[in-house]
Amino acid sequence: MTIFPRNKHLKVCMYSSSLLGIWPFIFEENPTLRQLYQLYSNFMLVYYTFFIGTAYMKLAELLRADEIRMDDISANLCITLIYTITIIRQIMLRGKGVLKMIRYIIDTENKIYAAKDEKVIEAYDRCADLTIKLSKIYLAILFVITMSYFIHPLLEGGYFLQKGNETMLIRALPLSSWFPFDEQKYYWWAYAWHVVDACIGASFVTYTDILMFSMIVYPTGQLKILDYILRNFQFYEANVADGRGDDRASYLAFRECISKHRDIIAYVDDFNGSMQNLMIFDFLQSSLQIASILTQVFGNEITLVLLSFVGTFFVGMILRLILYYYFANEVLILSVGLAGAIWDSGWCVQTPRVKYMMVVFMQRAQKSLKLFIGPFGVMSLQAFLSVSFAEPSIRVIRFNFRLRS
């Protein structure tokens, strides 16, 4: 019985995300196991949504408190924001557009290996190996961040809160959520519950990020393969000629290049259609989340424990954004570079019909492929470094200082 479809590019996210019921293509040959897996998937999603609800209940409680503690509010927002956007992404990842993209990745890999073109397979494997390597690095970093959330409250001394004539020691917990009991009185029960919730929440965030990251990286590999084929067009033309024995070889070979280019364009269009509106919230959430973690440093006593905790979280958030926006920027650059590949293809010896097709191809390549942040911008390194990214963080930090003063 086949549990997973064969696919190297999606290998890490396929195996890891299946642990939480996130992976959509599993047990396709066994309807019974498939149905049980779907029930498990729905249960995990409902529980995850329930936990996010308790985090917002805790946030409301913190905002209504007599003494507003920005540290506690920032700590809540750090996790609540990313968990919220993750649950939205999970719902959208179950849409038909995303399932179509994943199926396209699986089917295209099968075609590449079936063609037995060593150079093309080598180019594909390089992209897949890079995806696997970066996914494992991201998994390791998120594991360290999660462990820091478990250890951090144990190293903190807590703070004292005056309630009437009684002074209470408030000990920190790994997360910030509402409990149906007194979490200070039953601290270790609350701590254990948070450990479970943190493991589930961190897994949802990590596996969802890896799946989206894999989908963003994928077109870069396909563009590199198409670039290689175009630059070595005469070789592929000769292969078609050997099989047919007529002068239509160049026409047929270039028509295949056009077909592959259209497939890549359709993939990017599907990604934008399914994800571009979500990327708006992801963009804003990332900015506010970085601001929230930074506010835990300003106005507090700087200790090694605090710096280690905040630094680890901050590095993880920046790495996540770099992975998204760097490879989205690569899609933009590689798609425009196809016009240069045509120039190196030996176009001057082609028939007038093929030359005309090449000119049309070059004109289309001038319009770069872009992954959009909704209708407002393009995912690129410029967007990553833009003032739009920094401004919300600065505003939140300034607001925090005003409250402290």
Domain boundary assignment for the chain:
11-155+198-404
> Taking Cα atoms as reference points, which of 365, 323, 375, 324 lies closest to residue 343?
365
Of 109-123, 165-179, 236-250, 350-364, the least confident: 236-250
pLDDT tens for each residue of 86-95: 888 888 888 8
What average pLDDT does range 323-342 have in this prediction?
91
Dihedrals φ, ψ of 232, to 5°? Answer: -115, 35
Measured distance CA(160)–CA(167) in Å, rounded: 6
339, 333 Cβ separation under 8 angstroms: no
Q: What is the pLDDT of residues 8-48, one digit of tens each?
A: 999 998 999 998 888 988 898 889 999 999 999 999 999 99
Q: Where are the alpha helices (DSSP H) in 3-69?
A: 11-17, 31-64
Q: What percent of the chain has pLDDT over 90?
A: 35
Which H helix or E strand runs over 368?
A: none
- Terminal alpha carbon distance of the chain: 65
Find out whether 76 and 176 touch, Cβ atoms under 8 Å. Answer: yes
Average the pLDDT over 245-257 and give the result: 79
Residue 378, by phi and psi: left (phi above 0), alpha (psi -120 to 50) or beta?
Answer: beta
pLDDT of the residue at 388:
41
Burial class (CB in 10 A: 0-12, 13-18, 19+), 156: middle
Q: What is the pLDDT of residues 387-400, one digit of tens each?
A: 344 444 444 444 44
| Mean per-residue pLDDT, 94-107 | 89
Phi, psi (5° rounding) for residue 170?
-100, 110
Collapsed DSSP state (helix, strand, coil) of residue 169: strand
Residue 380 in contact with residue 329, Cβ under 8 Å? yes
Mean pLDDT of the chain: 83
pTM: 0.85
Please report the pLDDT score of residue 403 as a whole number.
42
pLDDT of residue 174: 87
Asked if 22 contacts 15 with a C-beta cutoff of 8 angstroms, the reply is: no
DSSP state of 168: E
Chain centroid to Cα 248, Å, comes to 44
Q: Which residue has the higher pLDDT, 159 or 47?
A: 47
Confidence at 246, pLDDT banded by 50, 70, 90: low
Contacts of range 117-122, beta carbons closer than 8 Å, 24 or more positions apart: 119/228, 119/232, 120/225, 120/228, 120/229
Residue found under tokens 């934008």: 272
Residue 340 is encoded by which pair of tokens? 């240069």
What 3-state DSSP class applies to 291? helix
* Cross-strand partners of 373: 377
- Residue count of the chain, please give it: 405
Q: Give per-residue pLDDT as tens, 185-217.
A: 899 999 999 999 999 999 998 998 899 999 999
